[in-house]
Amino acid sequence: MKINAFAAAKKRAPLAPWSFETKELRCQECVVRVLACGICHSDVHMIDNDWMMSQYPLVPGHEIVGEVMEVGSGVSHIKAGDRVGIGWQKSACMHCDDCLHGNENLCDHNVPTIVGNHGGFADHVVTDSRFVFKIPDGLETPSVGPLLCGGITVFSALHYAGMTSGQRVGIIGVGGLGHMAVQFASKMGNHVTAFTTSSDKAEFAANLGAHDAVVVTGNTFSHAPAKKLDILLSTIPAPLDLDNYINLLNSDGTLCYVGIGEASANVPLLPLLQKRRRVMASPIGGRGMIRHMLDVADAHGVAPIVELFPFDKVNEAIDKVRNNTIRYRAVLMN
Ligand SMILES: NC(=O)c1ccc[n+]([C@@H]2O[C@H](COP(=O)([O-])OP(=O)(O)OC[C@H]3O[C@@H](n4cnc5c(N)ncnc54)[C@H](OP(=O)(O)O)[C@@H]3O)[C@@H](O)[C@H]2O)c1
Ligand SMILES: [Zn+2]
Ligand SMILES: [Zn+2]
């Protein structure tokens, strides 16, 4: 079939209409008609080839909500007409220890939706149905897409950083990922401090469930949190001033990166050692965790705040992500 999409022809190029023909449907694949697709900062990194793995023409989009149109002969868990979601990951080997432990996101052979494949800035997507998730009825189509990448990334990272409830959690950056992280951490029973460079977001943070908001200007904080934090989650797509943040952590506290704004970081070891603190990083989440995250979002009313754009305004939407004027997630809707 012919798919009409928006693609970047080369590094940093604005997106333009582009179409391509798909191959015959394989037994594990399905065709999904795109209803909506979020714009993650990873789409911007990919357009810019920041990670040196982009292939052009590049069709971004990996926070996809759509309707199943057709399934391959080996597909039984979804059927035509189902409302489904697709995130960053397109497939994995399914046989390695990581896959068998439900950590398909850690598989050495994991394939991203928009690396070597075409994503959701399109009218249809053909993909591996094993990474296609039914959407609970309570979650609304315009806002559910961002949960499939941004949402699962922060949910899984907070889990593996040790978040339970009754803890003090700091979220650095209140963008697409960050504003969902504030909601998850708060609604799951934690005291949340948001760290933001935007004063309007500091004023709005309480509406997301934050108990405190620190405005960050350069290396300076508007104030220090009243108590040390058990977990700090960094969601910013820029280098982090680790020296400043490590000292906000409690003993045995964990700083977890999900936004990677630099290839490597200078970790100050003495303040780490003195308080047995940890630094870690975390990629998306496995399939079981995605199902669990969707149920938690449904049960606790965690939903991204979205600005909707028609697909032909995709460049306008990307510009707002680039210049940090989006509040809080851009979503394209057909
Ligand atoms: N680990 C994973 O699996 C995974 C998955 C998805 C995305 N990501 C990555 O996570 C990062 C965030 O993605 P996103 O979609 O949430 O991006 P986003 O919507 O653009 O939000 C990023 C936020 O970081 C803050 N920020 C931006 N530039 C900054 C700078 N120079 N210094 C300090 N703060 C800055 C801003 O928050 P304030 O206005 O509050 O300061 C901004 O809203 C990206 O690098 C993305 O690639 C990782
Ligand atoms: Zn993403
Ligand atoms: Zn595997």
The reply to whether 162-281 shares the fold of 2-148+285-333 is no
Ligand 1 geometric centre to CA of 82 (Å): 31
Taking only the tens place, the pLDDT of each residue in 225-269 is: 999 999 999 999 999 999 999 999 999 999 999 998 888 999 999
**Across the chain, what does the average pLDDT equal?**
97
- Residue 214: pLDDT over 80: yes
Tokens of 217: 């200007």
Mutate to test the pocket of ligand 1, among 324, 325, 327, 331 (most ligand atoms within 8 A of CB): 324
pLDDT band at 270 (very low <50, low <70, confident <90, very high): very high
- Closest Cα to atom 13 of ligand 1: 41
**Nearest one of 108, 31, 18, 16 to 69, comparing CA atoms:** 31
Taking only the tens place, the pLDDT of each residue in 125-169 is: 999 999 999 999 999 999 999 999 999 999 999 999 999 999 999
Ligand 2 geometric centre to CA of 185 (Å): 19
Identify each DSSP E strand in the chain by its residue range. 2-7, 16-21, 29-39, 64-71, 83-86, 89-91, 111-112, 124-128, 132-134, 168-172, 191-196, 212-217, 220-221, 229-234, 249-257, 278-281, 306-310, 329-333
Give the residue-averaged pLDDT of 177-184: 98
Q: Provide the percentage of residues in the chain whose pLDDT is more than 90.
A: 98
Contact 182, 194 (CB under 8 A): yes
Atom of ligand 1 nearest to the CA of 198: 39
Strand order in the sheet with 229-234: 220-221, 212-217, 191-196, 168-172, 229-234, 249-257, 278-281
Residue 154's pLDDT is: 98
- Closest Cα to atom 42 of ligand 1: 175
- Residue 334: pLDDT over 90: no
User: What superfamily in CATH does domain 162-281 come from?
Assistant: NAD(P)-binding Rossmann-like Domain (3.40.50.720)
Q: What is the pTM of this model?
A: 0.98
Tell the residue number behind the tokens 């290839």, with chain if given.
263
Ligand 3 geometric centre to CA of 97 (Å): 7
pLDDT band at 80 (very low <50, low <70, confident <90, very high): very high
- Closest Cα to atom 35 of ligand 1: 236
CA pair distance 226, 101, nearest whole angstrom? 39
Ligand nearest to the CA of 60: 2
pLDDT band at 274 (very low <50, low <70, confident <90, very high): very high
In the chain, what are the domain boundaries? 2-148+285-333, 162-281
Contact 155, 299 (CB under 8 A): no
Atom of ligand 1 nearest to the CA of 237: 45
Q: Provide the percentage of residues in the chain whose pLDDT is more than 70.
A: 100
Contact 331, 36 (CB under 8 A): yes
Taking only the tens place, the pLDDT of each residue in 137-146 is: 999 999 999 9
Ligand nearest to the CA of 152: 1
Give Cα 3 to chain centroid, integer Å.
25
Residue 263's pLDDT is: 83
* DSSP 8-state symbol, 140: -
Ligand nearest to the CA of 97: 3
Contact 54, 11 (CB under 8 A): yes
Give the residue-averaged pLDDT of 7-34: 98
Residue 6's pLDDT is: 98
Ligand 1 site residues (CB inside 6 A) read 40-42, 45, 149-150, 153, 173-178, 196-198, 201, 235-238, 258-260, 282-284, 321, 324
Ligand 1 geometric centre to CA of 21 (Å): 34
Contact 147, 290 (CB under 8 A): no
Ligand nearest to the CA of 107: 3
The more confident residue out of 206 and 261 is 206
CA pair distance 234, 283, nearest whole angstrom? 13
- Residue 306: pLDDT over 90: yes
- Residue 17: pLDDT over 90: yes
User: What superfamily in CATH does domain 2-148+285-333 come from?
Assistant: Medium-chain alcohol dehydrogenases, catalytic domain (3.90.180.10)
- Residue 115: pLDDT over 90: yes
C-alpha dihedral, 47 to 52 to 54 to 56, nearest 10°: 90
- Residue 20: pLDDT over 90: yes
Between the CA of residue 251 and those of 3, 268, 271, what are the distances in Å? 53, 15, 10
- Closest Cα to atom 17 of ligand 1: 41
Ligand 2 geometric centre to CA of 40 (Å): 5
